[in-house]
Chains A and B, each alone.
Chain A
Amino acid sequence: MTTADILLFALGAVAVGAGLLVVSTRHLVRAGLWLVVALGAVAGLYLVLAAELVAWVQVLLYLGAVVVLLLFAVMLTRAPIGTSYDLDRPGWPAVLVGGGAGLGLAALLVHAYRWSTVDLPEPGNAERLGAQLFRTWVLPFEVLSVLLLAALVGAIVISRPDIGKGR
């Protein structure tokens, strides 16, 4: 067990524990706050795995933007403060499918990788990633920018009921 292993194990345990609380807590706002913990732990995993740019993009976009949007939505839909007991559907099919998917995938990956050891890549800067992004993957990158514009326009059209009525 090296330092990286211990860090990966601890951060993974934090991520899974916080994820369990996200899907099981009875407080709407607390679910969003536990989501912050889970996504932050995943960002820490990215840092250990030498993906620094992805880690900071995760912090900026997920923790900064997505979670704030979700908390805004919780408030705009007038969520009750405190415990609410009508958040869940009957659980057995969800336990079966979710547990089957999670544990099945985990067993598959454990079977594939056993306890093999890999050297971590050098912790570098964003230069290699940027070169790949803007040379090999530049066409998907541009397509993604068009998709973001389409999502922006779509969100505006959906949220304004006076658009598209034919007047």
Chain B
Amino acid sequence: MHPVIPYVTAALLFGLGVYGVLRRRNAVLLLMAVELMLNAVNLVLVTADATVRAVLPATGQVFALFVIVLAAAEVGVGLAIVLQLYRLRESIAVDQVPLTERADDPAPDRAEPHEAVAGVA
């Protein structure tokens, strides 16, 4: 087994993930690109576990499992944020999110029905 094959695969996947994060406007597509990057890191960990004879066996696989759990937590919180953004703004384009709220911004008006619902609840 030549370890350079999975390593180069992982490097290319990471590059694709970086490209996707910088290129995409849709926040859900951005999260998909982040998943590609996390998978590239996992692939490096598992390949290193198969090729390097470490003192502790299976350490790379243990860390790959940890990264998978972290990715699950990340995508859960990230999608909650994306859906909340969509509820407030009707759009999830990441380059259209204003950094500060202005008084003439139409977005707070859109948020008001939720306030009313919350008041009833």
Q: Which of B56, B68, B79 has the most C-beta atoms of chain A within 10 angstroms of its own C-beta?
A: B79
Tell me whether A89 and B118 are in contact in the complex, defined as CB-CB below 8 angstroms, given that A38-B39, A97-B18, A106-B8 are known contacts.
Answer: no
Let me know if A81 is at the binding interface, CB within 8 A.
no
Interface of A is mostly: helix
Is A147's CB under 8 angstroms from B43's CB?
Answer: no
Known: A105-B15, A151-B76, A155-B76. A73 touches B4 (CB 8 A): no
- Residue B107 interfacial (CB < 8 Å): no
Pairwise interchain contact B64-A118, C-beta atoms closer than 8 A = no
A23, B24: Cβ atoms closer than 8 Å: yes
**Per-position contact with A for B46-67: 1 when CB-CB < 8 Å, else 0?**
1101110000111101101110
CA distance A9 to B49 in the complex (A): 18
Asked if A12 and B9 make an inter-chain contact with CB atoms under 8 angstroms apart, the answer reads: yes
- Contact status A70-B50, CB under 8 Å: no
Given A87-B26, A110-B4, A128-B57, do A20 and B50 touch, yes or no (CB 8 Å)? no
Interface-central residue, A20, A23, A106, by most chain B CB under 10 Å? A23
Residue of B nearest to A78 (CB): B86
Knowing A73-B82, A118-B3, A159-B83, say if A19 contacts B13 (CB, 8 Å): yes
**Residue-by-residue, is A129-152 near B (CB-CB < 8 Å gives 1, otherwise 0)?**
100110011001100100110011
**Contact assessment for B15 and A101 in the assembled complex, using a CB-CB cutoff below 8 Å:** yes
B93: chain A residues within 8 A (beta carbon): 86
Out of B19, B26, B42, name the residue touching A28 (CB < 8 Å): B26
In addition to A58-B68, A94-B19, A105-B15, 4 A-B residue pairs with Cβ atoms within 8 Å of each other are: A23-B23, A45-B6, A66-B71, A116-B3
Residues of A within 8 A of B (CB): 2, 4-5, 8-9, 12, 15-16, 19-20, 22-23, 28, 31-32, 35, 38-39, 42, 45-46, 49-51, 53-54, 57-58, 61-62, 65-66, 69-70, 72-74, 76-77, 79, 86-89, 91, 93-95, 97-103, 105-106, 108-110, 113-121, 128-129, 132-133, 136-137, 140-141, 144, 147-148, 151-152, 154-156, 158-159, 161-162, 165
Instruction: Please list 23 pairs of residues, one from A and one from B, whose beta carbons are closer than 8 Å in the complex, sorted by A's number.
Output: A2-B1, A8-B9, A12-B6, A45-B6, A45-B43, A54-B42, A62-B68, A73-B83, A77-B83, A79-B28, A86-B25, A87-B29, A89-B23, A89-B24, A93-B22, A97-B18, A99-B15, A109-B11, A118-B1, A121-B50, A132-B56, A132-B59, A136-B62
